[in-house]
Amino acid sequence: MRVRIDTELSLGVALRVLQDTERPFALVGEWAGGGAVLGCQPLLTAADHQDPFELLGAAERAAAASTAAAAAAGRSEPAVSVGGGWVGYIGYPSRSAVHRGHPSPPRRQPLPAASLAYYDNVVRLDNEGQWWFEALPSPARTAELEQRLIWWRERLANPPSARSAGTSGWQLQPSADAHAELVMACRERIHAGDLFQANVCGQLVGQLEGEPLELFIRGVETLQPDWAAYLQAPWGTVVSLSPELFLKRHGREVRSAPIKGTRPRPADTAAAAAQRDALAQSTKDRAENVMIVDLIRNDLGRVCDPGTIVAEPLAQVQPHAGVWHLVSEVRGRLRDDVDDGQLLRATFPPGSVTGAPKIAAIDVIAELESTEREVYTGAIGIASPVSGLELNVAIRTFEISGAGVRLGVGGGVVADSDPEGEATELATKALPLLDAIGAPQAVFVNAHSHPVPMRRLGPFPVPRPDARQGVFEALLVEDGRAVRLQAHLDRLAASVHELYGVELPEALADRVDATAAATEGRVRMRIDAVCVGDSLEVAVVARALVARPPVGLRSWSVPGGLGRHKWTDRRLIDAMEAASGEELPLLVDADGYALEASRASVFALVAGGVLRTPPDDGRILPGVARARVLEYAREIEMEISTAPLSYDELASAEAVVLTSALRQTPVTALDGRELRQLPKLLAILEAALNCPG
């Protein structure tokens, strides 16, 4: 079903018809031959837990069967260019369904791993400027589609007015200085032979006021990106201004157009030409591009007919929004038995935003980055039974949750990458996007940053904790009573619910009390919880409590920390402790801010008698003892602060003490530098934890 819609609306104005609709989307640029595809009010929505690869594979198999049946019956398929289909994103976290790899850093603002919805009607602006209503008809939907045509015509005849939109407070996390340190760490791993290339990313974080759709309209009108996409759903909004094609499959033909290599493209013609020539002549950038082309050839080679894969043009300089890019193209012909799901399993996540070899690069990314990627570096697009599969690489993409907005930005690192140059490249890529949406200047350098070098713990990255191994609680038992038992059970319950979607056994508290009652003196109790199949297995064990003398701390950079759970998998902690000798590891983020010790929370008495501890912002374990100390400090009207605690502030503190449910431990030194030990802090912590509460 295809019906002409006569309107002279510009694209920017027409996009506003999506305001206040259910799950609207827009694809603008080269999609479906050029123009725009708009839709809303989907017929179906995929469940959050549904496998997106299997869903798209099944949809294509069903479409192929329908086409074959129609041909056999002598019926022609509908004369539409798109008609509709599954639209949405497959986020980077979906990589775990393809390449398990190492666990990623904590997710600060998680979105669904994938979000797809099925639309049986769209409006389309073709590459000649004509608007069309297109639908995938079915006998059961005839009346509804006729009403949808009327709705679209009325909406385009009377589009909503523009609304206000703005952003503020943009900051790079981690800072440019920290990013340079991470590039150096990646180079070290490349020189050691772990991998050839990895795409190391950070994110700009800001605040949004107003209508996200207006940001998309500004970005599209200013930058005219080839593969722009807008998605809105209950989880938030995605505004993608991507220049990069991940996959385009029409019939059995498939192609990808990876981007690797970037230079700024100034407004001055001569300066722009000089930058273009520099990129064209860069041996480093060409080698980086060719490396990714080889990776994509290998990925497509798993699902294409032998001998059909072609890589041309190769490393061609092309203009994009404020930058020059090196762009290549890889094409092939899919085997007849390969569906869209299998194609995606062979190629996801995109090679240009991971590295080579892909699995090794994914593991280094998990080690070096400060937060799990969400939509960013995944793929956005449409799977239509008529036009086929089209997906962008979700770069130059704003992710909006509530009032928060994030912009992922990164670049490929190879053996001869310049750390400061790579940090500068982040700004080169981000600033045209921020300018396009009218954003204020972003802060790329943190004045309080003191990045700690990332030291290798072995020939390959030591993985972050694997949630499949379970979580646990360690608590103090004193005179037969489990101290602050309910607080510990509440924290454990929150972890197992978030990680496994299950609840603790109702009788667990009674079980712990019975185990505690059989002990004498001060004892350490451990409660382990692990999911086996669909059930939760819980073990309760009491052991002797070992005294710990005052300790020195050795700092270790763990970008993003270890998160809010007390992990059973302590491979990373154990490796740091083994490398620290007599000292205890202090975990710091990529910018050098203290997070926590390997077995305790950190408290410092800083200038003015202020009690400072790092914020509970998703990067640290929310310590039960930590919460009690803060509560007690308020009771005695002591000034407290949970602002970020910098390395320099920690080093110059009047005293530093580690606190856990089991003990309080004074800190004597930081990286070999002797610290002051004002007894006041230890006395406060002991008083807090010895008080009822």
DSSP-derived 3-state class of residue 514: helix
For residue 402, the 8-state DSSP code is T
Contact between 240 and 380 under an 8 Å Cβ cutoff? The reply is yes
Residue 688 structure tokens: 């807090």
Q: Quick one: residue 132, left, alpha or beta (phi over 0 = left, psi -120 to 50 = alpha)? A: beta
**Paired residues of 36 in beta bridges:** 28, 125
- Residue 70, φ and ψ in degrees, nearest 5: -65, -40
∠ at Cα 85 (81, 91), nearest 5°? 120
d(CA 646, CA 684): 22
* Spatial distance between the Cα atoms of 354 and 41, rounded to a whole number of angstroms: 34
Among 276, 265, 351, 271, which residue's Cα sits nearest to residue 317?
276
Distance (Å, whole) CA 333 – CA 301: 9
CB 352 within 8 A of CB 292: yes
Q: Which residues pair with 539 in a beta bridge?
A: 528
SS3 303: coil
Distance in angstroms (rounded) separating the CA atoms of residues 179 and 266: 24
d(CA 57, CA 301): 18
CB distance 665 to 657 below 8 Å = yes
Q: CB 464: neighbour CB atoms within 10 A?
A: 22
Q: How far is CA 678 from CA 331, 528, 609, 656, 687, in A?
A: 68, 37, 11, 8, 15
Q: Does 260 participate in catalysis according to the annotation?
A: yes
Structure tokens at 242: 């991507």
- The backbone torsions φ and ψ at residue 655, rounded to the nearest 5 degrees and listed phi first, read -170, 150
Q: Which of 244, 372, 583, 649 is catalytic?
A: 244
The active-site residue, picked from 181, 248, 260, 288, is 260
Q: Are 262 and 413 in contact (CB under 8 A)?
A: no
Structure tokens at 157: 């005849």
Distance of CA 236 to the CA centre of its chain: 14
**To which residue do tokens 């530093």 refer?**
656
Write the Ramachandran bin of 592: left for phi over 0, alpha for psi from -120 to 50, otherwise beta. Answer: left
Residue 646 contacts residue 177 (beta carbons within 8 Å): no
> Cα separation of 614 and 564, whole Å?
13
Which residues are bridge partners to 236 per DSSP?
233
Q: Which amino acid is at 659?
A: T
Angle at 545 between CA 539 and CA 549, to 5 degrees: 140
Judge whether 566 counts as a catalytic residue. Answer: no
Gap between the Cα atoms of 64 and 121, Å rounded:
19
Catalytically annotated residues: 244, 260
